[in-house]
Structure formats: C-alpha cells, structure tokens
Amino acid sequence: MTEPACRFCRAPLGLPVLDLGSQPLSNAYLSPADLAAGRERSFPLRLRVCACCLLVQVDDSVPPKAIFDGDYAYFSSFSESWLAHCRRYAADSVARFGLGPTSQVLEVASNDGYLLQFFADAGVPVLGIEPTANTAAVAQAKGVPTEVRFFDEATGRDLAARGFAADLVHGANVLAHVPDIRGFVAGFPHVLKADGTLTLEFPHLLCMIERVQFDTIYHEHFSYLSLLVVEAVLGTAGLRVYDVERLQTHGGSLRLFCCHVEAPFIEAQAVDRLRLAEREAGLADVATYTTFAARVDDVRRAFVTFLDDARRDGLRVAAYGAAAKGNTFLNSCGTTAEDVVCVFDRSPHKQGKLLPGSHVPVLDPAKASEVRPDLLLILPWNLRTEIMRQMDDVRRWGCRFVTVAPEVEVTA
C-alpha cells in the first residue's frame, strides 16, 4: 500500500498517531432489516499528522460515494442550542456588517436552511449551496434558495460568471468535512466581494487535544483544524484572517473572520493572542500529536471499567444523543447493546434505527419512563446542560447522568 499524502500540502504522511480500528461511517444508522441482511460496511479510522504543514487528518479510507449516498440522517434543525447559536450569529452579522435588502449572504453546506432563514427573515437576500439533495429540498420548501452541489473552485467561478458576489460568505462545520481542503478554499475568493467577509467555524484542534476529545474523530471529519494551519490554507487562496472568536459550540470551536489579503480590515489583537496560545499548547510540535494515543487509551479504559462496575452492580445504562461523536466513542470502546440498552434521540429520522457498529437501538426520549435506566450516558457532552434539562424527568426514579471525556463523571 502506498503511503497516503497530506490532503493540503501533498507531503507523504508518516505512521498514524492514533488508530481507532475499523469502524462503520458515523452517520450510517441501520434498520434492523439492514443488520439482518449484513448491510454494514466498516473502514479503517486512522489519525495522522503531516510533519510538513502540521495538518491533522484522517485517511481517505472510504469511497466518497459511500459517504454521501442514501439517507442523510443529520438534519441540523433539531438541536435547540445550535439554533440559538445560529440566530445570534445572524443577528450579530446583520449589525456588524450593516446587511440589508441590497446585500447578499452565501452559505456553503447550508443544510436544511436553518441558518439562512434567520437572514431571510431580516430581509437579507440569501443563497445556499448544499450537496445533499434531501436536505436542500427541505430548505427550498421553507423558501431558502439553495443550489444542490458541492462548493469548490469550479462552483465559485461559476457563481462569479453569473454575476454573483457576496458581502458575507459563511461556512459552519464544513471546512473540516471536505476531503480537498485546498480546492474548497480556492472557491471563496471568486464569490467574495472586495470588502466582503468570509466567516468559518470549525471545532478547534486545541480543545480536542487538551480535553482528549477523540470522539470528534470520524471518517467524514477529514481535518482537525487550528488557526495555525487554516491561516496557511487560506493563504494559498489569497485570503487572510482578520479576527477570531472562540466559541463553546461542539466542545470548543473557532469562528474566523477572513477577507481578501488586500482588503482594508485591520487585524484584531485576538488573532495574535490565539496564535500564541496554540504555540504554547504545543500545536506546532509533532510530539503533541504522537503522545495523544496514550491519553485516548486512558479515557477508553476508564469507560470500560465504568461499564463493568455498572453491570456488577446490576445498573441499567442507557445513552442520550445518537450523534456522530457518540458512535466513534462507543465503537472504539467495543461497546454493544448489552452494555448500553438504548440511546434516546429526538430526531424522528433516527428513532427505530440502530447505531452503526454498536447496534444500540435509538428510541424516542418519551420512552425513558418505560426503559427506566439507572444511568444516562450523555454522548454529545457539549450539549450536557441542555440534555440534563430536557431529560430532568429521569431523576424521578433516581437515574443519574454520566459524561466521559476526559474523565467519567456521574451527576445525580
């Protein structure tokens, strides 16, 4: 087998810094019939770091068709805190950039239009680019103009040729999810006005490393990003970062404000402060990544011990949140439906299905009083407060809440 090349700088990558074994796609929820028919495929999940540009990435082990085929189980509109985050972002942007009826907002990977609808409600013209047909159709149905296609340099050129130019271009949780990060970023200069702003949000590698958030690693999450590396990627497209905000979303994310290199924006001090923080945390040193696997093993061992103890004490463990990150976590710990009896999730698209790999059944949270678990494991730990509030009822029979990384924590 040939050594894989870095998806940004094309340098050959060395050995994996973390090998999570063979895993199914994190969004490949199964019906019981799929399982009976043996329709589950697994692919190696390995994390590597490029010694040249320091981009942390997973291997391209999955045929791209397998990733985007079939039912796309993730509809963004189901998390309340995420919707509130988007509403705030839209309101802040309208104020900060003075957007109005003559402005244009573009979102790449616009999903079901959950974000653009807030701009549209404020009277700002919007356009979404979304490669998944069924989610784009939901956006169209609520009046959010959406083109069904991938965003890349060809799409950027095509939009520009049609006279399209945006005052604000937004990409939330998409930069980390594109296989060709360089080709993707190359599309932005074509669609951004000379004084326009590009905002990008992505989970921050610094948080993944500091808090051992290895559950954020999955096949479709190709790159694990720092300011350090993203500045280099943007530079290849003639773009630069002029401001940055650190967000609590997804367990710690960055929102970068970017512009054309020659645009008149003055760089905020926050940018330099973050560059320094990343260096101090060792993100510029390869050794930081090569020691990550041992820290992951500690978390996995602690969780397996927790499950063993629960079984010994005759306690019934259920989970909450059928999210991608939960699947990586459960599968890399070898968890099955014998350890975790079910997972509650509010998305009707997931209820009645089985989690990929672990085959834990997904149930409507309304069924919690029938299952009556003793321990409720919160898989999307970043939504812990929201979930504990939603599931408060389980306390009636003494059920306790559990979160795992970086340590197992049980809350009554």
The contact set with Zn ion (CB under 5 A) reads 6, 8-9, 11, 50, 52-53, 55
Minimum CB distance to Zn ion smaller for 13 or for 126:
13
In the bound complex, what is the minimum distance in angstroms from residue 231's beta carbon to Zn ion? 14
Rg (CA), the chain: 21
- Residue entry with tokens 């010994």: 312
| Least distance in angstroms from the C-beta of 48 to Zn ion | 10
Report d(CA 382, CA 195) in Å as an integer: 35
52 vs 277 by CB, closer to Zn ion: 52
- Report how far residue 342's alpha carbon sits from residue 155's, in angstroms, rounded to the nearest whole number: 42
Measured from the CB atom, the residue of 233 and 360 that comes closer to Zn ion is 233
Give the residue carrying structure tokens 């696997």: 293
Under 8 Å CB-to-CB from 317, ≥6 apart: which residues?
A: 307, 310, 339, 340, 341, 373, 374, 375, 376, 377, 402
Give 52 or 410: the residue with its C-beta nearer to Zn ion.
52
CA pseudo-torsion sign 57, 319, 28, 136: negative
Structure-block tokens of residue 143: 């009046």
Residue 50 or 139 having the CB closest to Zn ion: 50
Q: State in angstroms the smallest separation of the CB of 412 from Zn ion.
A: 47
CB of 5 to Zn ion, least distance (A): 8
The b-or-e profile of 170-202 (16+ CB within 10 A means b, else e) is bbbbbbbbbeebbbbbbbbbbbbbeebbbbbbb
Q: How far is the CB of 9 from Zn ion (least distance, A)?
A: 3
DSSP 304-340: HHHHHHHHHTT--EEEE---HHHHHHHHHTT--TTTS
User: Which residue's CB is nearer to Zn ion, number 55 or number 379?
Assistant: 55
State in angstroms the smallest separation of the CB of 6 from Zn ion.
Answer: 3
CB of 73 to Zn ion, least distance (A): 32
Nearest-angstrom CA–CA distance, 114 and 111:
7
With tokens 């839209």, the residue in question is 90
Please answer whether residues 373 and 316 qualify as being in contact, where contact means their C-beta atoms are separated by less than 8 angstroms: yes
Whose tokens are 């005052």? That residue is 167
- The pair of structure tokens assigned to 337 is 């439906």
Give the DSSP letter of residue 193.
Answer: E
Cα distances (Å, whole numbers) of residue 103 to 15, 107, 125, 209, 232? 48, 14, 6, 39, 29
* Structural contact between residues 55 and 74, judged by C-beta atoms closer than 8 angstroms: no
- In angstroms, give the least distance from the CB of 51 to Zn ion: 8
Tokens at 171, concatenated:
């990409």
Q: Which is nearer to Zn ion, 52 or 141 (CB)?
A: 52
Compare residues 50 and 106 and give the one whose CB is closer to Zn ion. Answer: 50
Least separation in angstroms between CB 13 and Zn ion: 8
Between 6 and 283, CB nearer to Zn ion: 6
CB 218, min distance to Zn ion, A: 21
Nearer to Zn ion, 11 or 410 (CB): 11
